[in-house]
């Protein structure tokens, strides 16, 4: 086993002190400034990530809704029990027209999972008429 660092010979300590004293104070100052600039940059990046969290959530939720929904543009559906039409799925929000009162409903994409969407089925399910009984 090697000796602990404090028990190293005094010659080693003298050599280490000599190397430290050879460093220019301006060089130490520039190293500290670059380290502080790097830390400040990381801090700003972390703050930006926290501030843009909701924007990223809206973008991802809108993309998932576009890709996974079986709802086409301008299709009539029931939105929380009210008749509505899907007009637009944007980057940050989705727009519905409520056909009972002719009002526009703008929903942030991060809140789409809270809505109850009902889509009327076609008259034929699996090639059979929906009115037929088995």
Which residues have C-beta within 8 Å of that of residue 33, sequence separation ≥ 6? Answer: none
Task: For the domain made up of 54-123, give the CATH fold.
Answer: SH3 type barrels. (2.30.30)
Q: Where are the domains of the chain?
A: 10-51, 54-123
Phi/psi of residue 119, each to 5°?
-115, 130
Query: Directed axis angle between helix 25-51 and helix 53-68, to 10°?
Result: 40
134, pLDDT greater than 50? no
Amino acid 6: pLDDT: 54
The pLDDT tens digits for 55-102 are 888 888 888 887 876 777 888 888 888 999 989 888 889 999 999 888
Amino acid 76: pLDDT: 86
């Amino acid at each position: 086993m090697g000796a602990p660092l404090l028990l190293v010979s005094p010659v080693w300590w003298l050599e280490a002190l000599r190397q430290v004293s050879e460093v220019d104070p301006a060089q130490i100052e520039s190293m500290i400034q670059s380290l502080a600039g790097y830390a400040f940059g990381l801090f700003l990046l972390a703050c930006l990530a926290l501030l843009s969290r909701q924007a990223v959530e809206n973008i991802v939720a809108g993309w998932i809704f576009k890709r996974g929904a079986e709802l086409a543009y301008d299709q009539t559906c029931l939105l929380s029990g009210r008749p509505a039409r899907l007009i637009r799925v944007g980057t940050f929000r989705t727009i519905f027209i409520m056909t009972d009162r002719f009002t526009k409903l703008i929903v942030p994409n991060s809140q789409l999972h809270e809505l109850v969407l009902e889509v009327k089925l076609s008259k034929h399910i699996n090639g059979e008429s929906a009115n037929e009984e088995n």
